[in-house]
Structure 1
Amino acid sequence: MDLKQLENLLAIVETGSLTSAAERVGLSQQAISQSLTRLEKQLGGKLFERVPRGMVPTRLGETVAEHARDVVASAGRLRSAASAEIGLERGKLIIGLSPIAATSSVGMQVAAFATRYPNLRIDVEAGIDRDFIAALNRGEIDLALSSQSGGEQEGVLIERLGNETWGVTGRENHPQLSKARNLKDISGCNWILGRNTDLLTEKIEDSFAGQNAQFPQPGIMTTSVMFALSALARTDYLSILPQSLCNAAHSLMWRDLAMGKWTSPVFLIRRKQAHLGYAARALLKELSYEGEKTLI
């Protein structure tokens, strides 16, 4: 027997006649009758009784129909899964990724996802949350991962995925940072500061005040993470940066002098009521799962 024979059988069961079943599956009445005859020969018994009002399944027919539904449903799920995998192999996904989110565990999850589907084209656009929200509303990106968000935004959904811990960063063997046990020990240093710490300002101020330490005064203000990392490695400036961003920079040292109080969330941002392709839905499912594990 084959899948088409089972589909024809179910059409007869559901419509109650050869004529209606033939119309449903797009065959002639003769063709669907022949399909039924072949199936009965293969199974060794009658599947239907003819009655004045059409066709009624025998006990054998009812049993076969019950199993046929499972087989046809499984075949449908198989086709859907195959189509989805083809979509992952040949599709395209555009993601907005902030500098901080890019180096976090969430960013690494995106890289792992891309590794599993090497034929799926993933375009990564740099920026921050307000850039991504505008791009999402214009339909230019599928979703975004950002280290900061100003709360609810019109037209988008914002989901918290995890947390990022921040600390004081300087060059390896920095004369003060290498010996510092608290924030007071780095008083008087020159600082590189940027807009990435905006949402941490209150926490940072509280920590410096609580330790009777001098609050950082910007010697350099920048919005460029790459410039900050390069300058930190070559000078005695200090900066406040997330741990994940500094882990891979062997020329830098990172210290948590705030005792874990400087944390910021990482968010997934996507459009409301937007159709997402299978690749975007698959990544979204993985990111949400990872976020749940991070927050537990």
Structure 2
Amino acid sequence: MEHRQLVHFLAVLDSGSLTAAAQRVGLTQQALSKSLSRLENELGGKLFERGTRGMTATRLGESISEYARDIIASAGKLRHTASAALGLERGRLVVGLSPISAASLLGKRLTQFAQNYPNVRIDVEGGIDRDFVAALHRGELDIALSSQVGGQYDGILLEQVFSEPWGVGGCVNNQALQDAQSISDLADGKWIIGRNTDLLDDIIAETFSNAGLPMPKPGIMTTSVLFSLHALSQSDFLAILPQSLCRDFNGILWRDLSDGAWISPIYMMRRRRAHMDELVSVLLRELKG
């Protein structure tokens, strides 16, 4: 039985889909299926049943799940202990970053940490909160930074470490956006609508309501930040975006038209029972500035 087989098993268990699990662990579906088959052969039974709703754990799969999580977590603790023994001269950290966190000042502070400690290897994994929760429980991440936190998660510590301002983004040549004094001046705008946090959605809706406007109807709906930025730079569409994503993107004008009301907190996420070694402690201190 190999460590990676348990990682593959938990990826399928947490996602409920062979396709999603394969993407998460960076394998083809065929390779992931073979890994699961080898584990099933060693254990002597099937771990999953395939149905219309995806992959469902069998009784055997359910019975070993907590043991598998403990083994993965113990392996992570072993790595942390080794890093602590080596001090800040050598070691390894695995950090999850959401797109907004990566573009914010936190991304720059993480880069600065890597420059200050050149012998510490830092692995950065992209994703959003639900990806990070599963990876933290599997012991695959030391910490994660995300603005898209849907609430409290069992076994996960949340701590706000930064705040990101949001505003209206558009092409630098968009005259309406250049001249706008308030959100009401963009009542006739065409909008690209993406995914915000629930709290921010409420605040944005309140701003539009106070201006006597309904929430903008999407001309384009997307979950791709990169598409949004490219589309904005080449058209007269508008979008509500964090300042950090627009700041360094050529051709984008960003305006605060909410008088500073659109603020999204960025949270540090960490497994509640995870060992806090010196590397993680120093990184958190530097991320907080």
How far does the alpha carbon of each residue in 1:181-212 deviate from its partner, in whole angstroms, 9 at most, with x for none? 11111112211111134431111111011112
Please report how far the alpha carbon of residue 270 of structure 1 lies from its aligned counterpart in structure 2 after TM superposition: 0.2
- Looking at structure 1, the residues matched to 135 and 264 of structure 2 have their Cα atoms a distance apart, in angstroms, of 23
Q: What is the RMSD of the two structures over their aligned residues, measured on CA atoms?
A: 1.8
The 5 Å alignment of 1:41-190 reads: 86-190=86-190
The 5 Å alignment of 1:206-285 reads: 206-285=206-285
- Looking at structure 1, the residues matched to 181 and 115 of structure 2 have their Cα atoms a distance apart, in angstroms, of 41
TM-score computed with the length of structure 2 as normaliser: 0.68
What amino acid maps onto 2:128 in structure 1?
Answer: I
- Looking at structure 1, the residues matched to 107 and 85 of structure 2 have their Cα atoms a distance apart, in angstroms, of 22
Gaps of 5+ in 1: 1-82, 291-296
- State, as a whole percentage, how many aligned pairs show the same letter: 52
Please report how far the alpha carbon of residue 112 of structure 1 lies from its aligned counterpart in structure 2 after TM superposition: 1.0
- Looking at structure 2, the residues matched to 199 and 135 of structure 1 have their Cα atoms a distance apart, in angstroms, of 25
In the superposition, relative to structure 1, how do residues 156 and 197 fare at CA in structure 2: closer, same or farther (>3 Å)?
closer
How far does the alpha carbon of each residue in 1:73-113 deviate from its partner, in whole angstroms, 9 at most, with x for none? xxxxxxxxxx9695434311110001111111222211111
Q: Which moved more, 1:224-233 or 1:211-220?
A: 211-220
Gaps of 5+ in 2: 1-82
- The match for 2:14 is none
Please report how far the alpha carbon of residue 161 of structure 1 lies from its aligned counterpart in structure 2 after TM superposition: 0.8
Please report how far the alpha carbon of residue 116 of structure 1 lies from its aligned counterpart in structure 2 after TM superposition: 0.7
- Looking at structure 1, the residues matched to 268 and 199 of structure 2 have their Cα atoms a distance apart, in angstroms, of 17
Partner secondary structure for residue 88 of structure 2: helix
In the superposition, relative to structure 1, how do residues 219 and 197 fare at CA in structure 2: closer, same or farther (>3 Å)?
farther
Is 2:199 the counterpart of 1:199?
yes
How far does the alpha carbon of each residue in 1:121-153 deviate from its partner, in whole angstroms, 9 at most, with x for none? 111111111111111011111100011312221
- The match for 1:66 is none
- Looking at structure 2, the residues matched to 237 and 161 of structure 1 have their Cα atoms a distance apart, in angstroms, of 32
- Looking at structure 2, the residues matched to 156 and 85 of structure 1 have their Cα atoms a distance apart, in angstroms, of 25
What amino acid maps onto 1:271 in structure 2?
Answer: R
Please report how far the alpha carbon of residue 119 of structure 1 lies from its aligned counterpart in structure 2 after TM superposition: 2.4
- The match for 1:46 is none
Partner secondary structure for residue 202 of structure 1: helix
**Which protein is bigger by CA-based radius of gyration?**
1
The answer on whether the counterparts of 2:150 and 2:197 sit within 8 Å (CA) in structure 1 is no
